[in-house]
Amino acid sequence: MICNDFQSHLEDCVERKRPPQLDPFADHLAECPLCHERLADHSLLETALLHLDEGDESPDFVERVVREVLAGTRADRLSQAPMRASRGRRFARVAIAVVALGLLAVFAVPGILGLFTAPENPRALEQFTGIKPDPPRDDDGVERDDLRLDRLVAETSVAIGSLWNETGRTLGDLETLVPLGFRERRPSEEPGDDAEPGLAGHLRQELQPLGRQLTNSFGFLTLGR
């Protein structure tokens, strides 16, 4: 019982609730090692606390603090600065989160769902990957004539288009006109056509008016001659 009383008294002393009065416990402390140890611990800490020393701040500490506080502040701003800062920071966080979610919705989710796929059109694939596709071949592995013609026309039209472009004009008409013109009239399909046979002849025949037009315009194109 007296141990509990002593402990309670000691705790009150520690918590500064009452001034220490050990006289009533003197006899008990002399014969109870546990309470003696509690009191010894208490004395030890109280003594140690008297020796707490943490050194001094730098000599310019006060000036540094005051300078930082007064830097760009007046009395009215003193009260608002922390609030403004925290609001701004909060807004920035929300904005970043919204942008991140937007980017995720636009790119990551469709990608994950497989909405972005490689283009099936060979030309588009060529533009996409930079790899030129092999020309289509028949069962014997020989390049098909009609497709070969289309390819050659397309390449030629691109060459003409480049020339056209160098002069500052658009490519659009030329790139579409030339291949379409060839598709409409294929070699040796029209009876009685006395035009020069073969690919070169057809190229010449089809491109002559165009070449002439270009020659008239710019004077250096030789394809139509």
Partner 1 sequence: MNEPDVELVLRCLDGDSDACRDFVRLYQRMIFSLCYRMLGNHEDAEDAAQESLVRALRGLSGWDRTRPLKPWLLAIAANRCRTSLMKRSRQPFTTDFAREPEQAERGSDRIAWGEELELALDQLKPEHRECFLLFHQHDLNCSEVGEVLGCPEGTVKTWLHRARRQMAEFLRRRGIVVEPSYDL
Nearest to partner 1 of 34, 147 (CB atom): 34
Of 161, 159, 155, 137, nearest to 147 by C-alpha is 137
Q: Per-residue x/- marks for partner 1, 104-123, CB under 8 A? A: --------------------
Burial grade of 120 (CB within 10 A; 0-12, 13-18, 19 or more)? exposed
Stretch that binds partner 1, among 14-22, 136-144, 183-191, 213-221 (CB under 8 A): 14-22
Report helix, strand or coil for 28. Answer: helix
Nearest to partner 1 of 47, 222 (CB atom): 47
* DSSP one-letter code for 23: G
The whole-angstrom separation of Cα 50 and Cα 55 is 14
Closest approach of partner 1 to the CB of residue 60, in Å? 11
Q: Work out which of 59, 72, 82, 114 binds partner 1, going by CB under 8 A.
A: 82
Number of residues engaging partner 1 in binding (CB under 8 A) = 45
Give the Cβ contact number of residue 174 at 10 Å: 21
Q: Which residues contact 207 (CB under 8 A, 6 or more apart)?
A: 156, 160, 178, 223, 224
Q: Per-residue x/- marks for partner 1, 189-218, CB under 8 A? A: ------------------------------
Closest approach of partner 1 to the CB of residue 90, in Å? 17
Nearest to partner 1 of 33, 191 (CB atom): 33
The whole-angstrom separation of Cα 9 and Cα 35 is 11
The whole-angstrom separation of Cα 30 and Cα 28 is 5
Q: Per-residue x/- marks for partner 1, 40-69, CB under 8 A? A: xxxxxxxxxxxxxxxx-xx--xxxxxx-xx
Q: Work out which of 2, 34, 70, 104 binds partner 1, going by CB under 8 A.
A: 70
In Å, how far from its chain's centre is CA 161? Answer: 37
Q: Report the DSSP beta bridge partners of residue 137.
A: 143
153 touches partner 1 (CB under 8 A):
no
16 touches partner 1 (CB under 8 A):
yes
Q: Per-residue x/- marks for partner 1, 19-38, CB under 8 A? A: -x-x---x--x------x--
Q: Which residues contact 144 (CB under 8 A, 6 or more apart)?
A: 136, 137, 138
Q: Which residues lie near partner 1 (CB under 8 A)?
A: 11, 13-16, 20, 22, 26, 29, 36, 39-55, 57-58, 61-66, 68-70, 73-75, 78-79, 81-82
